[in-house]
Structure 1
Amino acid sequence: MTAATTAISGPARVDSSPLALARRLQPGDVAIVDALDLDKRAAAALAARRPAAVVNAQACISGRLPTTGALVLLEAGIPVVESAGQDVLAFRDGAQVTVEGDSVASAGRIADAGSRLTLEDVEQRIRVADQDLHVHVASFTATALDLLHRDADLFLDGIGLPELRLPVDGRPVVVVTSRFAGGDEVLARFARERRPVVIGVGDGADAARAAGLNPRIVLGDIDSVGEDVLRRASQVIVHDPAGRDAGLARAQAIGLSHDDCDASLASEDVALLAAHAAGASVVIVAGGRDGLLDYVEDRSTAGAGALLSRLVASGAVVDAAVLPALYRHRYSAWTAWGALGLAAAALLLAAWGTPEGHDALAGAWTWLAETVGGGA
């Protein structure tokens, strides 16, 4: 058999969101997702967990935009089947799945014929899509201008933003979005040392908690957020730009004290702007968007809203991905003095082990004892 037809088997892990799936994916699993135009960030999160294969119910690269998610997976040596149809999403989580060629099967059920991707095919489709990118950028720009005109009061004056009840002025804030995959040691160390206010956005609140961060504020659709995380938060702000009531119903059902926000922006952008308006010294976004394409490929107004929000708060916003290049571990005074003390002790022990050093230290000790004794 060729590499393209060799059968690959493993337990199915099913989630429409690649980033949510990446948090629980284990090496050897078969990742099953539902993502049109799989983006680079989501693919990298999946690749880091080393699945046996990735199966996408939709096209990984539709040709609309030069998305590179499939390329990231293939270059990592992970087989990819795209356009496998909605049937794969019905596979039972944990059930054994076999991927052979274009076929995906589990428990006797065979999904609609997908397409096993190759590097050559993906590279060619990216080149073709790249030729039309300027058209999408122009359309994106027009959408952003319309949005700015419609919501100028919110962007320019902060009207409609929720008021953060925790003291934020002059403090660092970390906004953890649902795209945060965890495993960021530098961010965790920054949080331990600088004690920022952590805002968990929707499912990002659970991701923050799992990463050792403490989301003091939870903002967004709380319908699927763990109850323990919600009750530990100092403030819960229910927000859904689509106008759904699931989060509000959840809050009422569990008797949770909460605030409401009806801004039309995505929750992560509301969190960013609210922190900036409250005077945060810096806003670190964990799980932010990755470059222009990540904004443009969002066919809703969310991409335009995200870019405008970044522009409004541009002087205070940093992506967690660049934190390792900007932040250095800060040692306490006790740590520094302790290190100096250990170094001095090591030098003294080394000197004591030589005849000359032994005599010198003995003479110094005698002199010190006589000096102190004479003074007494």
Structure 2
Amino acid sequence: MTAAATLISGPARVDSSPRALARRLQPGDVAIVDALDLDKGAAAALAERRPVAVVNAQSCISGRLPTTGALVLLEAGIPVVESAGPAALAIRDGAAVTVEGGTISAGGGSSLEGTRLTLETVTARVRAADEDLHVHVASFTATALDLLDQDADLLLDGIGLPELRLPIEGRPVVVVTSRFTGSDEVLARFARERRPIVIGVGEGADAARAAGLNPRIVLGDVDGVSEDALRRASQVVVHDGEGRDAGRARALAIGLTHDWCEAGLASEDVALLAAHAAGASVVILAGAREGLLEYVSDRSTAGAGALLSRLVASGSVVDASVLGAVYRHRYSAVMSWGAFGLALGALLLAAWGTAEGHDAIESAWTWLADTLGGGR
């Protein structure tokens, strides 16, 4: 039996969003996603959870862009089946699934046929797509210029941004997007020590809470955000760059006090610009896009808007992924003096155990007593 025909089985975990799925994926699961041109960051989030296989309803690399998500999974030893079709998303979450070659079977139902990927075929497709990348970059640049002309007041002057009511000026802010997987120990330590204001963008609010962060501001489409996260927030700003009303309807239905923002940018970009405009000392993006390709691969204007927002706020923005390289643990005065006291005590105890040290300590104590006594 060849490697491609090896039988793989496990419980299905289904979500159209790879990043959202990664937050609840467990080792041994079969991940089923719906991602045209699976990007590197989303694939890395899946790979970290160690599923036994990843099934994509769409093509992992269509040839439109040299996306390397499939390579990330394959190099991690995780089998990948692509183009399984929309019926893959109808598989019941938790159902027993078997994958053999490109065939996916679930619970005695009809089988689905996809394409089992190999390193050789994916590498060749990435190489071919890379040759046409300059065309997509040119198109992306034109889109960015159009967006800058259309939303100059918002991007350059902050007109239309929501007013954040918490005192932000001079304080660090962490913006947590829905792409955040919650596995960042450096960010968690930074949050404990520096007490930043955390902004959860849409479902990123729940991702932040799962990571031990406390999102005091929730901004974005709140339709998929837990009511607990919404109730615990000091401010909720309902926003949907595409103009949908589901989030606002949810807020009204549960009687949630909220603000409203009509900006046309994506919610994570609105959060970034609002924090920057409010005077944040630093804005840390948790779940940011990784590299130019992730911006270019977004077929809507969202990628262009994200890049422009990063440029506008560039003086205060840091990706959480590089926080470990620029942030150093800060020890409190109590901890520093405590460590000094312990070291001094250990030194005195060691000296007391020797004749010379014993005599020196007694002499020092006598001198100190005479000095203090003489000053009465």
TM-score, length-scaled by structure 1: 0.97
Q: Distance in 1 between matches of 2:370 and 2:299?
A: 84
Q: CA offset at residue 92 of structure 1?
A: 1.2
**What residue is the counterpart of 2:186 in the other structure?**
186
**What residue is the counterpart of 1:58 in the other structure?**
58
Q: CA offset at residue 87 of structure 1?
A: 1.4
Once the two structures are superposed, the pairs formed by residues 165-176 of structure 1 within 5 Å of their partners are 165-176=165-176
Q: Distance in 1 between matches of 2:319 and 2:215?
A: 18
**What residue is the counterpart of 2:348 in the other structure?**
348
Greater shift in the superposed pair: 178-187 or 346-355: 346-355
Q: Distance in 1 between matches of 2:281 and 2:375?
A: 54
Q: Deviations over 1:145-180 (max 9, x none)?
A: 111111111111111111111111111111110101
- Contiguous gaps of at least 5 residues in structure 1: none
Greater shift in the superposed pair: 343-352 or 34-43: 343-352
Q: Distance in 2 between matches of 1:368 and 1:317?
A: 55
- Do the aligned partners of 2:99 and 2:105 also contact (CA within 8 Å) in 1? yes
Structure 2: which amino acid aligns with 1:266? A
**What residue is the counterpart of 1:150 in the other structure?**
150
Q: CA offset at residue 73 of structure 1?
A: 0.6
Aligned partner of residue 300 in structure 2, secondary structure = coil
Aligned partner of residue 173 in structure 1, secondary structure = strand
Aligned partner of residue 223 in structure 1, secondary structure = helix
**What residue is the counterpart of 2:217 in the other structure?**
217
Q: Distance in 2 between matches of 1:289 and 1:98?
A: 33
**What residue is the counterpart of 1:122 in the other structure?**
122
**What residue is the counterpart of 2:70 in the other structure?**
70
Q: Distance in 2 between matches of 1:363 and 1:143?
A: 81
Structure 1: which amino acid aligns with 2:209? R
Residue 359 of structure 2 corresponds to residue 359 of structure 1 = yes
Q: CA offset at residue 373 of structure 1?
A: 4.6
**What residue is the counterpart of 2:261 in the other structure?**
261
Once the two structures are superposed, the pairs formed by residues 91-106 of structure 1 within 5 Å of their partners are 91-106=91-106
Q: CA offset at residue 37 of structure 1?
A: 0.6
Residue 230 of structure 2 corresponds to residue 230 of structure 1 = yes
- Do the aligned partners of 2:105 and 2:112 also contact (CA within 8 Å) in 1? no
Structure 2: which amino acid aligns with 1:329? H
Q: Distance in 2 between matches of 1:59 and 1:163?
A: 41
Aligned CA-pair RMSD: 1.2
**What residue is the counterpart of 2:291 in the other structure?**
291
Structure 2: which amino acid aligns with 1:100? E
Q: Distance in 2 between matches of 1:281 and 1:371?
A: 50
Residue 87 of structure 2 corresponds to residue 87 of structure 1 = yes
Q: CA offset at residue 369 of structure 1?
A: 3.9
**What residue is the counterpart of 1:273 in the other structure?**
273
- Do the aligned partners of 2:97 and 2:106 also contact (CA within 8 Å) in 1? yes
Identical aligned residues as a percent: 80
**What residue is the counterpart of 1:8 in the other structure?**
8
Q: Deviations over 1:286-329 (max 9, x none)?
A: 10010000000000000001011111111111111111111111
